[in-house]
Structure 1
Amino acid sequence: MGPLPEISAHRRDSAGVTGLHEAVASGAEYVEIDVRRAGDGSLVVHHDPEVGGLPLRRLSRARIEEITARPVPAVGAAMEIIARGARGHLDLKEPGVEHETVGLAMEIFGPGRFVVTTRDADVLRCVKKEFPDASTALSVGRGMLERGAAGDLAPLRAIRASGADMVALNHRLARVGVLRQCARAGYPVMLWTVNAERLIRRFLRDPRVAVLVTDRPRTALALR
């Protein structure tokens, strides 16, 4: 059996800045952050497109923090925290953030010290064109109930067209043959978000998985 998967610690918004420090302290090889742009133009770490029922893109970072009643990390500051002990896993949640995000990552992490994931193939093509040394992964299975998501069951054409180096695959799709397709095509797989202990155990022993993304990095590392 080849090397066991690396671990990417997924940070929930509710954990705030504290969650970033905890994720780095867990010992995971990667720490994942979700990147969006706020209404004042700043890049913020936030999973959902709304906060308090209001679109994030119409709110300043200060207003977002008022609504959530907790600090909302700026992307650059979050990268600085992560870089102290881990590599960056930068999940771009919307188009238009890629140039600034990857530029920051090149400065803070350096080439080979971060990976960019997104469901948007056009965004990945732009990243690879402007930053050919950046590692990228097309996210597959992010909206499996959405129109057009049936293509996630046969994603190789989209992956190839995106220019991605890897595939960020929903673990549910891994169990219906998509992991096998990606492995046969030679794509390393980042598997997300694996939290049940039985699944963590299973996929830690699967040589086709390069990176296991989880909300429970300490558990995954102990089992590994």
Structure 2
Amino acid sequence: MRRVRERVQVSAHRAGAGDDVALENTRAAFVAALELEVDFVEFDVQRCGDGTLVIRHDPSFLHGDSEVRLADLTSAEAHALLPDLLTYDDVLEMLAGRRAAHIDLKASVARDPRHAVAATASAVERLGADGFVVTTGSDQAVRAIRDWSDEQGLDLLVGLSLGGNVRGRSVREQVRIRLSELLPHRRLQRSRASVVVAHHSLARLGVARFARRRGLPLLVWTVDTPRSLAHWLRPGGAWLVTSNHPALALAVRAARERRHLKH
């Protein structure tokens, strides 16, 4: 069993772009995050129609009056429309040897577990088995990655994400999903997740207590206010906290540690 560290780790969510949506997952955001003493840099991975993995949170974007899906474009076509779009390989190269990666595989990658495993294998090759945590909301993808890592003799951090967007689903389906997140034992057992990943509201509603009882590392997203950061960055509060404002998170953690030294 992997032991949870005393010091809560900090991850720069979407490369720490803050409130600037246009900056999310961009090279400028990664450069700024690497200048901070964050422990992890988080980014979102989508899949283009030709199989190329790119860094973007949403699976589609507006071009003029039309909504364009990355899954309908080749990598070259996507870059023509989004010149600042980074590839997965770009980001792995930037982070290698500098910061640990928090790799969030979106549905366009994770819906086929083979693609999720291939993305994880690339991360192992470029970052090393201890150089990243990979997360996704797909139970099947988590299970496939865990099974693959066992076959390779690797002890990877693989997280099942709880608390994602359920808009567009029927009320019955929304209720079913939320109950499975508040009582995640069966999903975690079936997926074999080695990390519990929860939105901060779900974590407060009992998921954090669940993770602690079972000795599983807890990754909490996305924590941005000073009060909430102070709560989750206390020793034992979580293993890793992601924030859109990593500089603030680091300042809150440092202030807590200074107070502890005084006492």
Task: Give the root-mean-square deviation of aligned CA atoms.
Answer: 1.7
Asked whether the equivalents of residues 183 and 208 of structure 1 are also in contact (C-alpha less than 8 Å), the reply is: no
Is 1:40–2:62 an aligned residue pair? no
Any residues of structure 2 matched to 1:39-188 within 5 Å, and which? Answer: 39-52=49-62, 53-68=67-82, 70-94=83-107, 95=110, 96=112, 97-132=115-150, 133=154, 134-143=156-165, 146=169, 147=173, 148-150=176-178, 151-188=180-217
2:259 aligned residue: none
Asked whether the equivalents of residues 140 and 168 of structure 1 are also in contact (C-alpha less than 8 Å), the reply is: yes
TM-score (ref. length: structure 1)? 0.92
Mean Cα displacement is larger for which, 100-109 or 7-16?
A: 7-16
Matches of 1:129 and 1:181 in 2, distance apart?
A: 23
Asked whether the equivalents of residues 117 and 141 of structure 2 are also in contact (C-alpha less than 8 Å), the reply is: no
Letter paired with 1:220: A
2:12 aligned residue: 9
Matches of 1:181 and 1:100 in 2, distance apart?
A: 30
Moved over 3 A (4+): 65-68
| SS of alignment partner, residue 176 of structure 1 | helix
| SS of alignment partner, residue 79 of structure 2 | helix
Deviation string 1:6-47 (CA, Å, 9 cap, x unpaired) is 011112562211111112222111111111111222100111
2:258 aligned residue: none
Mean Cα displacement is larger for which, 135-144 or 207-216?
A: 135-144
Asked whether the equivalents of residues 188 and 208 of structure 1 are also in contact (C-alpha less than 8 Å), the reply is: no
Q: How big is the shift at 1:206? A: 5.1
Q: How many residues are matched?
A: 222
Matches of 1:160 and 1:143 in 2, distance apart?
A: 22
Asked whether the equivalents of residues 8 and 30 of structure 1 are also in contact (C-alpha less than 8 Å), the reply is: yes
Q: Which runs of 5 or more residues in structure 2 are unaligned?
A: 254-263
1:216 aligned residue: 245
Deviation string 1:41-99 (CA, Å, 9 cap, x unpaired) is 2100111111112211001233333434x411100110111124200111110223312
Deviation string 1:98-119 (CA, Å, 9 cap, x unpaired) is 1221111111110111111001
Asked whether the equivalents of residues 231 and 237 of structure 2 are also in contact (C-alpha less than 8 Å), the reply is: no
Mean Cα displacement is larger for which, 53-62 or 191-200?
A: 53-62
Deviation string 1:169-207 (CA, Å, 9 cap, x unpaired) is 100111212211221122110000111121111111151
Q: Name the one with the larger helix percent.
A: 2
Letter paired with 1:137: G
Letter paired with 1:143: N
Letter paired with 2:136: T
